[in-house]
Amino acid sequence: MPLPPSPVAAADQAPAEAVAPLIRGTTVLRALTDTDGALSLPELERATGLARATLDRLTGTLERMGYLRMDGRTPVLAPPLMELGNAYLEGLRLPDLLGPYARELAGELNESVSLAVADGAGVRFIHQTTRRRALSVSFRVGDLLPVERCGPGPLVAAGWHEADWERWRRRRAADPDGVGFPALPPGDAARVPAEAEFIAWARQAGEQGWALDDQLIEPGLVALSLPVHAPDGTLACVASLVSHTSRHSAEDLRERLLPTVRETVAAMERRLREAPHPEPAPPGAHRASWISASKQELGQGFVGSLARGLGVLTAFGPGRESLPLTAVAQATGQARATARRALITLTHLGYVTSEAGTFRLTPRVLALGYAPLSDLRLPQIAQPHLTTLTERVHDSTSLAVLDGDEVRYTARVAARRIMSVDVTVGTRLPAHATSTGRVLLGALPAADRARHLARAHLTSLTPHTVTGREELAAVLDQVAASGYALVDQELEEGLRSIAVPVHDRTGRAVAAVNVALHSGRRTTREIVADVLPELRATADAITADLRVAGRFSHVQEA
């Protein structure tokens, strides 16, 4: 995969009908992606070669779309951007169909398992099941590796034609140091196979049906890779079992674990043969009217052609992996000519490919922010929303998770006050006496809630603390029905707090957001009237981000 061209170079090489702002906007997203999701405006100006005024308009538009947020004057990628990569992965279907087999294999062998697809002269990860340990694999969904430096590479190259080899040679010549592969370890000093060596490796991998990566990425990292074929016999993806030399040598992977991995790959291929083609899902609500309203409100500060161009990527999805121009225009609410120019531009940039009058997304869509965003934990997703909530209600806000009989605070934004609530990240408090604990207990299934109450040690912390099991059970029933918990001076005299749950994409309450304040600040009635709506809006925003981020990546809750 060649290095991404600068906006100027890309525009010079582009077809006459290409949309220049779309080229510039994707260049901004790529620059932020390659620097792990954040870059100051001066740094972004140098990285893209764009003028500051142009950058301000582009970042302002992307911020309006929710694709990035401003941390002071630093643009930071935001989880809603992952909807672009999700559209590709949903249309591809491989993570949904094969992910369960990868997870089962990882559990059986207690090693990490990944799925990767070809992307130009590289391979890009589309699924990761990582075993959490001190020495664990750190590659993410969306990361790109050079074919000559990883186990999936020779299996991909085994099916290349001469034009593919020429493209690979050009990429190597243009980028001998691997700058176009930011997923490679920094300060990389690993041995890079020579051309003849890689050609021989690819030939051998094709003949034997597997490949070993013996510490080509970095010292200690070994992998066993096998091809997964589509029903028509073409390469669908490559499955890799990844380990460390402290547990397995490369030869040990081949001698001991190859048969088990082969069984899993055979099951994956059966699944691909037997899976029915999905009914086309309706496209998401198009943004044509929203774009017009944003343009009317922000004027020249909003780049409508960038918003429309990126919106084209969201037209694809389950059962909609290949679409004609007319369907793209209908799905996005755009004029046919407008959608056509966007598709021409996206094809030029490598995010879309076309054949026989239809278009489909390519793995390169994952280069638009997916890897750094797929690595976010829930506290990182929630933090900017907590900051906004604190600014709106002028009181301290927190995110907490249930941990046994306690809640553990995982994110926190303190209000600037003489008298403020002193809770820090990592603090543990009794669940029965806190609003976060009660809202999470109330969200449990009734049987789980009853079991928790039966064994919990209900300590009295103030004269107001509810410690009777029947009384607390009634309180939790009310919390479950109302969707919020209000605790008035039960944890500490003078302290009031209110909390609501945050849900994952399955609807499970995985955390709680609360606002805590001194009793002199607001009455309980005022808290419900004034704070609760803001709190619910914040929880909804965190939940929305979590559902996008967790579609194909595991989001750690703490």
Q: Which domain CATH number covers 296?
A: 1.10.10.10
Give me the number of domains the chain comprises: 3
Residues 310 and 434 grouped into a single domain:
no
- For position 421, what pLDDT does the model report? 56
CB 332 within 8 A of CB 298: no
Residue 367 token pair: 């280069």
- For position 419, what pLDDT does the model report? 46
Residues 406 and 484 grouped into a single domain:
yes
**Closest to 139 in 3D by CA, of 118, 125, 151, 120:** 125
Residues 250 and 330 grouped into a single domain:
no
Residue after which a domain boundary falls, among 228, 247, 273? 273
Residue 303 token pair: 């780049």
Residue after which a domain boundary falls, among 231, 256, 273? 273
Residues 138 and 246 grouped into a single domain:
yes
Query: Cα(307)–Cα(65) distance, rounded to whole angstroms?
Result: 7
Report the predicted TM-score, pTM, of the whole model to 2 decimal places.
Answer: 0.93
Query: Cα(34)–Cα(311) distance, rounded to whole angstroms?
Result: 22
Residue 99 token pair: 């992910």
293 located within any domain: yes
Domain that holds residue 358: 7-86+280-374
557 located within any domain: no
Residues 491 and 413 grouped into a single domain:
yes
- For position 314, what pLDDT does the model report? 94
- For position 1, what pLDDT does the model report? 43
Question: For residue 375, is it left (φ>0), alpha (ψ between -120 and 50) or beta?
Answer: alpha
Residue after which a domain boundary falls, among 273, 304, 321? 273
Residues 240 and 366 grouped into a single domain:
no
Q: Where are the beta strands (DSSP E) in 377-531?
A: 396-403, 406-413, 428-430, 485-488, 495-503, 509-518
101: which residues sit within 8 A by CB, 6+ positions away?
264, 267, 268, 271
DSSP secondary structure letters along 294-317: HHHHHGGGS-HHHHHHHHHHTT--
Which run of H or E residues covers position 438?
helix 435-442
| pLDDT averaged per 10 residues in sequence order, the chain, 558 residues | 51 83 97 95 95 96 96 95 97 97 96 96 95 66 95 96 95 87 73 90 96 89 96 97 92 94 98 92 80 92 96 94 95 95 97 95 98 96 97 95 94 74 83 95 93 89 92 94 95 94 96 94 94 98 97 92
Positive/negative CA dihedral, 292, 294, 298, 304: negative
Residues 11 and 125 grouped into a single domain:
no
Question: For residue 551, is it left (φ>0), alpha (ψ between -120 and 50) or beta?
Answer: alpha
Residue 397 token pair: 């806000």
- For position 200, what pLDDT does the model report? 96
Q: Which domain CATH number covers 193?
A: 3.30.450.40
Residues 509 and 414 grouped into a single domain:
yes
Residues 390 and 442 grouped into a single domain:
yes
Residues 332 and 431 grouped into a single domain:
no
DSSP secondary structure letters along 165-178: HHHHHHHHHH-TT-
CB 514 within 8 A of CB 476: no
